[in-house]
Structure 1
Amino acid sequence: MKACYAKFNPHQFLECHTLDAINVLKSLKNSFYWLEELSPGIFELSFYAVLLHDTGKCASGFQKSGLQRERWGYRHELLSVPFVQFLDYGERERNLIALAILTHHKTLDELEEKLPIGDGNLSPEFHEKLEELFDRSEYLEQVFIPRISNMEAYYFGTKRPPKRFKLPADWKEKLRDFDFQALKEWYEENVDNERLTLTFIRGLLNASDHLASAGETSIALLPDINEKLELRIPPEKLRPLQIEASQHAGNLILRAPTGYGKTEAGLLWANKNALRNGKEIASRIFYVLPYKASINAMHKRLMGLFPDPSLVGILHSSAGFYLYTSSLEYERLGSLYRKIYTPLKVTTPFQLMKAFFGVGFHEMLKTELAGSILIFDEIHAYEPNVLGIILAMLEEVAPLKAKTMVMTATLPDFLEDLIKETLPFRELKVPANDANKFTRHRVHVIDGSIDSIEELIPELKLYQKVKKSSRPALIACNSVDRAVATYRVLKEKGFKVLLLHSRFTHGDREEKERTLLERMNDYDFVVATQVVEVSLDVSFSTILTEPAPLDALIQRFGRVNRQGWRNGKIEDVYVLTQGSEADEKIYKDYRVVEESVKILEELDGEELKESLIPELVSRAYSVISKKLTEEVQDYKKLAKDVFNNVKPLKRGEDEEKFYEMFNGVEAVPGIYAGEMLRLLNRGMGIEAHRYLVPVPMWLYWAEKESFHRLSDRGVGKHIIVAELEYSPETGLLREPLTGGDIL
């Protein structure tokens, strides 16, 4: 008798891989029990989908190709599907299981031209491959099938498990006669009514198969959060709103100043609202932040609470490189974080949106979002299109037993109203007297622009402040071009200056951030763009900033005197009245910037009381709140229309649009193109990532002629080269790359 392997190198017998996948499913059944309420019978149906999903791999051609490390060239799922007819179920249940098995690797759209339907060339090929399956019929009949009753007893854990599978004597003939056309028609007729069940059954099968293939036999659960936090903050030291958050069941908005402990409040709320498996937390918790830098920082922070790296995941487009540079098992962990395994994930909202745009294995992510805990931090930072999609997404997951918390220091009234219109939320605010204890800044509005930096430094005595505090001053610019120009002026004047913005390669950015953390006091000035608002946990002596919307300015102020609330210390912060022409492109309705400057002029020379900030931010946005509200509502409606068009088992029609909207472009500077190609050809993709620079779409289109593919074929065809000036000192500039003289 010849063996049937489901996996090769290392080899794994069909029944062994199947049992591993059943183990994963069993852990999902025990932990995600709420799915049974949402879709009764889902875990029984999913068991039989897992049980039969790889039977088609017994075909002799598949076995031979696997042993020789070659592609077989035929979909084994097509041979697995017909086995569902031997299940003691009605048509509905059999078809649900069959569709999950059929699509556990490819979507229905991708399989459309491969289904053996009608009298074309596909049916003879299907029958030819069935004969290859029958070559190993002895293994199926004598090894795999006899084990099914034991697997049923093990999974269901009852004395009388549902013995649904019975192989008839004429099973080979029945496989030949399986009607794929009828299955396809049943899907088209029933997909709308069975949307949730089809989503969960494919999601559970994919989750079980993917984790078993990765060597895991269960999902991870999170220990009780309160017990972990008590080791850091004794219960008697908790602040009033942290205690209230820990006791509130349901959706929550928390307004609190920087330094209050919103993160801890969010975790305590999550602990209260999470669904559990015994003492452990079974709900998946998603901590959502807008920027990669703040996500990386939060991941490090949560790893301090849960040191096991498999418990705290990170999801963003450069997560693999972050894990690699953090000396973590980047390949294994990066793979697990993308699966249903990890209980707490720090992520961008875009990673979650994939589920609703039909991107990738979207059913698996939707299954994970059912019963989940969503914590949105810094929700004010998103553009109206993203806010609209987030709100539409929250409406989608609410009926699936998900709970949401929104945390912010600066939430305009119009945005709060939009959130409350979407879902019922309770709001918690820090009382004014308590909030004012966190006041750290005195505001000064300075007439002029950053072009006068040479005169402003002595006028404002910035250098004296630097020397007195032994900490650099922050010069915050709105654009990369202004930051580079300011950096050059200061450097020419002999100051020690560090430049930080978004257009450095990932490797150079990492090096600059490490330098700032380790040798911050070596510098007189740090010139930075928005990246400094959201990334490093550093504290500057003071700040001189270009004008911006008030909430953005408050974020920038937050990098000055970070711990000042501990001893009541107040530091001066300086806001210029004039920006540059480019600012009107950065802030699409510039009126909010002008209004923000007016508001701060009223406070010129006074302390910026923390209790006033929510009202001041709402005032700043009042000039455009009606327009922004309409924009967010329009995008929300548009998003819901897109979501409704996404069908389970199919790719979203708007998948490409999703990537166009959110992914942007990453390019390798021309000076590193050769090194990039060398690394890619050696299979060192993670090292190659070090040389990529995020490029905003406006720059890509403005300088389109300066961008090209790294190569026409092979690994380089997916990499874009930017033939623009680049140096580790100043980053990628909007200047064509200049070569040496031609001799």
Structure 2
Amino acid sequence: MKLCYAKFNPHQFLECHTLDAINVLKSIKNSFSWLEELSPGIFELSFYAVLLHDIGKCARGFQKKKNKWGYRHEILSAPFVQFLDFPERERNLIALAILTHHKTLDELEGILPVRIANIGPLEFDEKLEELLERAEYIERMFLPRVPNIEAYYFGTTKPPKRFHLPEDWKERLGEFDFQKLKEWYDDHLEEEKETLTFMRGLLNASDHLASAGETGILRLPDIVERLELKIPRKKLRPLQVAASNSEGNLLLRAPTGYGKTEAALLWANRNAFRKKGEITSRIFYILPYKASINAMHRRMMGIFSDPAIIGVLHSSASFYLYASALEYKRLSSLYHKIYTPLKVTTPFQLMKAFFGVGFHEMLKTELSESLLIFDEIHAYEPNVLGIILAMLEELKSMGAKAMVMTATLPDFLEELIKNTAPFKELKATAEELDKFTRHRVHVVDGDMASVRELIKELKIYEKVRETSRPALITCNSVDRAVSVYKELSEDYRVLPLHSRFTYGDREAKEKALLERMSDYDFVVATQVVEVSLDVSFSTILTEPAPLDALIQRFGRVNRQGWREGRIEDVYVLTKGSEADRKIYKPYKIVEESVKILQELDGNELRESKISELVSQVYLPVSSKLEREVEDYRERALEVFRSVKPMMKGEDEQRFYEMFNGLEAVPGVYQGRVSELLDRKMGMEVHRYLTPIPMWLYYAERENFHRLSDKRPGRYILVAELEYNPETGLLRIPVKGGDML
């Protein structure tokens, strides 16, 4: 008897892989109980889809030349559904899930068999003959195990026993009508959209995890028990207690340092589905920046310890895991599957599900009845914010709940959020807020062109020497930061920090600051400092920016001063550079921020007033911004509702380029990168990548070229622009660059 393998290297029999996948599906079934309410019968249908999904692999060509066979095994698997004791609808749902578990319907266009009168045998008939060469294996090895697998999965004394192989099964396989199946999909798409999504999502999740060597998904331990190891319940703040008792969507306003993260976890604990004391709901903690995501992942690891239950998702997550000495290959793969119960992520990773990128049905299945925590939601551009609001609207029908928390939220943005769904609101009292007051604001007439004189006039260096902590100089553009760094480094010990360093150099600079802070007099940074390092500077001199951004910058000064009631001075310049008008749109927000701070000049910035002041700043442009956000929301909803399950959506590379910009290797490191690629050390290449905003790429396009990534169709972008570890990537072309 000829054997049939589902996996190679190592070899795994068809029934073994199938049982592994059934184990995963059973684990999901035991955790995702809500799916039965959203789509009754989904777990029974999915069982038979998983049971039959790989039976087509028994074909001789697949067994001998898996990667060179040139045919789709799932086309041979789908016809077996006709032997299931189900009505036509259920059989079609199962067949479509099997048929599309690797390729979408549109990708299979032209491959699916279509019988035409007076035309001879199809390629399908030839491949079916290859499958039937192992008919004995199917009849004697695989199918006899089905009743036991049914009994194991359904856990009843009388399992359904839906599968019955008739005597003429070999002839009937060749009669399966793929065209009729496709027509049924087209005719029933709208009414079956959710079920089709879950069918493919569950089969993909089961198959992918089984192929990764897993036999189940994980659950989160009780959050309160874990938090009590860090914060005794009697020491919880009022809003944390209120959050732990709040059911449904929640909007939380609280100052930096209040403990919003703990409040969010307590809210999630209250609203989660549970089984045997463990949390089965999937929790997504959503932040706008990679640096803050990495920091939050480390913080969550401090609470839950196990990297398998705390995931991290962003475009550089694999390198972060690698640099953290974690099992990056396995974990980064599992984090993209329905495996890890709590994930710290960018919103862009979730958007993929709604734009139809990749296996979007699997992510949508995971997002059903999920708990989403949006932190720093004020930081997004109107286009991204509009897409987030559209996601929230779509997730309502999937039972998801959201918590939005911030220290600075304009009124117009609060109203937009509340319009997507009912939100309960929690705010700290004025008295409680003012306990967190830490800064006295000074508005200084001038700009960074006179930074040396301002440091002397404001006695900033004296403050540095007094505290043994550097002062923070914050610029709005990289070019201005480089200019200030060069000027100050002539007389002071200065650390530059901005977005145009390679990841390796930036990591080294941040590590140096954390470990040897007293070695520096000044840190000259751009907006990256608003979200990255958990350090406390002696004071700050900053270019003007929107008030909410300035408050984030102030938060890097005197971080724990509220504990002792200590107030520190912070300084805001009245003028920036011409580049600022391209960075902050509309620029009127910056002008209004300066005006409002001038009214506070020399006074404490009371925490109880911040929300009111931020709303006041945005008031003159709130109508315009609201229309812009609403426009993006409507356009996003239009796209979302056009995405079809089991069909290809947005191209993944194009999707990332829409939001993330590009990454390039400075030309000076091209040789080193080529050497690493030759040695198959691709992960180390990440240390030499530099983030490139799209405007810079288009402005200097003639100075970029491609370097082969040693993989077909893959390449690395090289920037033939000047680079050094002190200033980063500059807009100065390298003469005689090695252009390819």
Q: How high is the TM-score relative to the length of structure 1?
A: 0.98
Retained in 2: the 8 A contact 1:706–1:722?
Answer: yes
1:130 equivalent to 2:128? Answer yes
| Secondary structure in 2 matching 1:708 | strand
- Among 624, 629, 633, the residue aligned to 1:632: 629
Judge conservation of contact 1:315–1:346 (CA < 8 Å) in 2: yes
Distance (whole Å) between structure 2 residues aligned to residue 614 and residue 309 of structure 1: 36
1:376 corresponds in structure 2 to: 374
Are 1:281 and 2:283 counterparts?
Answer: no
The 3-state SS of whatever aligns with 1:350 is helix
Q: Which residue of 2 aligns with 1:434?
A: 432
2:53 is aligned to 53
How far apart, CA to CA, are the structure 2 residues paired with 1:716 and 1:157? 48
1:726 aligned counterpart, secondary structure = strand
Matched, 1:4 2:4: yes
Q: Which residue number corresponds to residue 229 of structure 1?
A: 227
Question: 2: distance between equivalents of 1:676 and 1:588?
Answer: 38
Structure 1 position 585 matched with structure 2 position 612: no
Matched-pair contact (CA < 8 Å) for 1:473–1:543: yes
Counterpart pick for 1:110 among 107, 110, 125? 107
The code of the aligned residue for 1:258 comes to: T
Cα deviation for residue 739 of structure 1 reads 5.0
CA contact (8 A) 1:221 1:280 kept: yes
- Cross-structure match for 2:547: 550
Question: Does the 8 A contact of 1:324 with 1:330 survive in 2?
Answer: yes
Q: Tell me which amino acid in the other structure corresponds to 2:534.
A: D
Q: Structure 1 residue 71: deviation in Å?
A: 2.9
Does the 8 Å contact 1:298/1:346 carry over to 2? Answer: yes
Distance 1:305 1:335 in 2: 23
- Given residue 75 of structure 1, which amino acid in structure 2 is its aligned partner? R
Are 1:31 and 2:31 counterparts? yes
CA contact (8 A) 1:357 1:655 kept: no
The runs of 5 or more residues in structure 2 that have no matched partner are none
Show the 5 A alignment for 1:387-402.
387-402=385-400
Percent sequence identity over aligned pairs: 74
2-structure distance, mates of 1:40, 1:85: 21
Q: CA deviation at 1:250?
A: 0.5
Following superposition, the deviation at residue 117 of structure 1 comes to 1.4
Q: Residues 722 and 733 of structure 2 are in contact (CA less than 8 Å); yes or no, is this contact kept in structure 1? A: yes
Q: Secondary structure of 1:192's partner?
A: helix
Per the TM alignment, residue 717 of structure 1 is displaced from its structure 2 partner at its CA by: 4.5
Find the residue that maps to 1:194 and give its secondary structure: helix
Q: Give CA deviations for 1:547-580 in whole Å, capped at 9, x if unaligned.
A: 0000000000000000001000000000000000
In structure 2, C-alpha distance between the alignment counterparts of 1:615 and 1:519, rounded to whole Å: 38
Q: Does 1:733 align with 2:730?
A: yes
Contact 2:209 2:337 in 1 (8 A): yes
Aligned residue for 1:193, secondary structure, equals helix
**Structure 1 counterpart of 2:58, which letter?**
C
Q: 1:417 aligns with which of 400, 415, 418?
A: 415
Inter-partner Cα distance in structure 2 for 1:658 and 1:297: 25
- Kept in 2, the 8 Å contact 1:709–1:716? The answer is no
**Alpha-carbon offset, residue 703 of structure 1:** 0.8
- SS of residue paired to 1:573: strand
AA in 2 matched with 1:204:
L
In 2, distance between residues paired with 1:712 and 1:431? 56
Quick check: 1:622 aligned with 2:625? no
1:598 is matched with which residue?
595
8 Å CA contact 2:286, 2:345 repeated in 1 = yes
Tell me, yes or no, if the aligned pair for 2:677 and 2:710 is still in contact at 8 Å.
Answer: no
Task: Tell me the C-alpha RMSD between the 2 structures.
Answer: 1.5
Residues 1:708 and 2:705 aligned together: yes
Query: Using the alignment, how far apart are the partners of 2:108 and 2:665 within structure 1?
Result: 36
Partner of 1:367: 365
Relative to structure 1, the CA distance from residue 656 to residue 191 in structure 2 (aligned partners, 3 Å threshold; closer, same or farther) is: farther
Structure 1 stretch displaced more, 274-283 or 572-581: 274-283
Give the Å deviation of 1:713. Answer: 7.8
Give the Å deviation of 1:674.
Answer: 2.2
Q: Is the 8 A contact 1:116 1:180 kept in 2?
A: yes
> Residue type matched to 1:329 in 2?
E
Alpha-carbon distance in structure 2 between the residues aligned to 1:107 and 1:331: 26
Residues 28-85 of structure 1: CA deviation (Å, up to 9, x unaligned): 111000000000000000000000000001111111124xxx4322111011010001
Q: Deviations over 1:282-307 (max 9, x none)?
A: 01000000000000000000000011
How far does residue 123 in structure 1 lie from its aligned partner after superposition?
A: 5.8
Alpha-carbon distance in 2 for matches of 1:381, 1:709? 33
One-letter amino acid of the structure 2 residue matched with residue 681 of structure 1: D
Distance 1:716 1:678 in 2: 19
Structure 1 position 451, deviation (Å): 0.8
In structure 2, distance between residues paired with 1:198 and 1:682: 44
Q: In the alignment, which residue of structure 2 is the partner of 1:406?
A: 404
Q: 1:218 aligns with which of 211, 216, 229?
A: 216
**Quick check: 1:721 aligned with 2:718?**
yes
Pick which of 273-282 and 571-580 moved more: 273-282
Deviation (angstroms), 1:656: 6.1
Give the direction of change, closer, same or farther, for the CA distance of 1:410–1:740 in structure 2 (3 Å limit): closer
Distance 2:278 2:536 in 1: 37
**Amino acid of the structure 1 residue aligned with 2:406:** T
1:519-534 counterparts in 2 under 5 A? 519-534=516-531
Does 2:160 align with 1:184? no
Task: State the shift of 1:715 in Å.
Answer: 5.5
The alignment covers a number of residue pairs equal to 737
3-state DSSP class of the match of 2:553? Answer: helix
For 1:463 and 1:489, the matched residues in 2 are separated by: 15
Q: Does 1:13 align with 2:10?
A: no
Structure 1 counterpart of 2:96: 99
The secondary structure found in structure 2 opposite 1:324 is helix
Q: Is the 8 A contact 2:477 2:526 kept in 1?
A: yes
CA distance in 2, matches of 1:537, 1:464: 23
Amino acid in structure 2 at the alignment position of 1:209: D
Q: Which residue of 2 aligns with 1:443?
A: 441
1:294 aligned partner: 292
Equivalent residue, structure 2, for 1:201: 199
How far is 1:672 from its partner? 1.3
Which whole-Å CA distance do the structure 1 matches of 2:581 and 2:595 have between them?
A: 17
What is aligned with 1:569?
Answer: 566
Tell me which residue corresponds to 1:153: 151
Q: Structure 2: how far apart are the matches of 1:133 and 1:363?
A: 29
SS at match of 1:629: helix
Contact 2:677 2:709 survives alignment (8 Å): no
Name the aligned partner's letter for residue 127 of structure 1.
D
Change (3 A) 1:653 1:469: closer
Structure 2 CA distance for partners of 1:671 and 1:122, relative to 1, 3 Å: farther
Look up the SS of the partner of 1:544 in the other structure.
Answer: strand
Letter of the 1:582 partner, please give it: A
